[in-house]
Amino acid sequence: MYVFKTPKARRAALEASGGVVPPAQAARQRQYEDVDVAIVMESTYPYLKGGVSAVVHDIVTHNPDLTYGIIHITWDADSPQEDLYGMPDNVAWVRPVFLSLQEHRHDYMAATPKDLSMTPAERAVLVDRLFDALHALAERREVEPLWQLIDEGFNERTRTFPLWAVLGTREFMQALAVRMPQLDLSLADSFWTLRNFFSLAYAILGETMPKARVYHAHTTGYASLLGAAAARDHDTSFLLTEHNLYVRDTVNTLLDRNMALSITSEDYRTFDVTPEQRAWMAWWIEMGHFCYPSAALITYLYPTAITEAARLGTDIDKAVVVPNAMVIEEFEDKYRARLTAQEVLRERGDDHTWKLVYIARIVPIKGLLDLLSSMDLLRRHGFPNLHLDVLGPTEHVPEYYEACLAKIESLGLHDHVTIHGTVNVRDMLDQFDLLVLPSYNEGQPIVVLEAMAAGIPTVGTDVGGMRQLIGDELHTRDGRTVGACGELVVAGDVQQMADSVRAVIGDRKRYADYAVNARTRVQEFFQMHEIMSSYNEIYRTVGDITDLRGLSTADLEDLASAGS
């Protein structure tokens, strides 16, 4: 195995600083016990609240018979590290992984061409192998040549040379000019782009991860790459869940496109984009191509996600739908309060002030500016008895928040809109008549399920899994049909949003039907205990986990109830 040699200058600096160990090294040196499931996250659980984090916390707490570790991929040691959930007893550890090159300067940046211990001819062969492996992936979807290079040059336990050191060789620069003209980058830009890619690959692939029977990545991208590599390293299993289509969303963000637009495997070859954008599109899309074959199973939140993922290279034969879910009993009080509120609504008639609620971060992708325009249209067209409460963090994109405040001012909506910031949504849920969701991009929003569990209809954009949640007719096992619980609109169509809100609140029977259907859909199709049972079965099947940690079936039911 190749071992890093600390340069004399670096040793002197460490001695002068009292031997302070860099965070990446400290994380690597800790002892981690083997676990059943290592959940691989990118900058979310347990340090960021949100939909995906909430789902992961549910998975952990509702499967107490399994042991877990959390591999948390983040940018650097200054990223948030406050546990916002309180780790359950069955979580053995949280293992940070840092992407920033500066966090790996003690090893990645210390390697030089001399560390390859190769002759010029041998270096030339290695460079050809590298470009051949990249070509095999991009043109034929062959992954094994690249995995072999990772085993030899990145994997901490098996590497015999530092593959990234090849970047500093004459042979690499000569080959680069010939082998990658399709990027249309200058030689210098090609080098620095590939250097970025190599440093990110080292951050993900260069350290041995704690052992787990199943590595469960909750996105493609870096989490998927790490999960696939760790499972290969330990000869265990890799499970992938796509809460949303990460590659599509990342590429659309890169290109500043509408987040509802699709992306396919071939788009980086054909889109009219800058050379740098093309390189990053290729990076994300080919990373998906590289990781998908390693997954034993790939779960999606809603059926149409599988169709769209197939255009990005997923294996539909491995794909299954495991939706999000709710513990419906937790909403019983809110549901009862909403039933009472509907009685009051009927008594007040036209004197009722409809309480609409937006629950999301105030960021461009969530579409609050559009909703404010819709509110203005409703007010100007004879619906003055409306009030919109905005619940969610305001600090993520300050300039967008300021734009929303300015729009409220310019449209004179002060009396019709209240921005609360971050609040306990469930505590307030029964105060609202209608959830409005103007997002340009969603997976299967937890907030919609929460509103449904409380018997609150939704008007939302037709993105992600929203159609399955609120629009499609759903059929129970005993043959009953459960109708829609809201209206779907085109993302960005402020007139259609206003018209749909008006259609719901202007028709009392429709509103009442939607409210009943909302609760029924959760009861019949999105119950937490059923979905968590599916995850448990998947983990045990994929990871060949047979023991129950000494717990009886009754014990498991009691613990699961306590965890909920």
SS (H, E, C) 12-49: HHHHHCCCCCCHHHHHHHCCCCCEEEEEEEECCCCCCC
Distance from C-alpha of 244 to C-alpha of 219, rounded to nearest angstrom: 8
Q: What is the mean pLDDT of residues 20-36?
A: 89
Q: Are residues 182 and 259 in the same domain?
A: no
How many domains does the structure of the chain reveal? 3
pTM, rounded to two decimals:
0.88
In degrees and rounded to multiples of 5, residue 435 shows phi and psi of: -90, 130
Q: Taking 70 as the threshold, does the pLDDT of residue 2 lie above it?
A: no
Q: Is 303 exposed, middle or buried (CB count within 10 Å of its CB: 0-12, 13-18, 19+)?
A: middle
109: confidence class by pLDDT, cuts 50, 70, 90 = confident
Residue 274, in any domain of the structure? yes
Structure tokens at 107: 């090893």
Q: What is the mean pLDDT of residues 373-401?
A: 94
pLDDT value of position 18: 53
pLDDT value of position 59: 96
Residue 499, in any domain of the structure? yes
Q: Are residues 419 and 495 in the same domain?
A: yes
Give me the DSSP letters along 401-413. HHHHHHHHHHHT-
Domain closes at, from 199, 233, 267: 199
Residue 14, in any domain of the structure? no
> Any idea which residue has 């169509």 for tokens?
493
Q: Which domain holds residue 357?
A: 328-525
Structure tokens at 353: 């002030």
Q: What is the mean pLDDT of residues 490-502?
A: 97
- Tens of pLDDT, residue by residue over 166-196, are 999 999 999 998 887 666 788 899 999 999 9
Structure tokens at 255: 């290109």
Residue 452, in any domain of the structure? yes
Residue 479, in any domain of the structure? yes
- The secondary element (H helix, E strand) that includes residue 189 is helix 187-205
Q: Are residues 39 and 51 in the same domain?
A: yes
Q: Are residues 130 and 87 in the same domain?
A: no
Distance from C-alpha of 175 to C-alpha of 180, rounded to nearest angstrom: 8
- Tens of pLDDT, residue by residue over 259-300, are 888 999 999 999 999 999 999 999 999 999 999 999 999 999
Structure tokens at 455: 């018997």
Positive or negative, the CA dihedral 469, 471, 472, 475 is positive
- The CATH number of the domain holding residue 64 is 3.40.50.2000
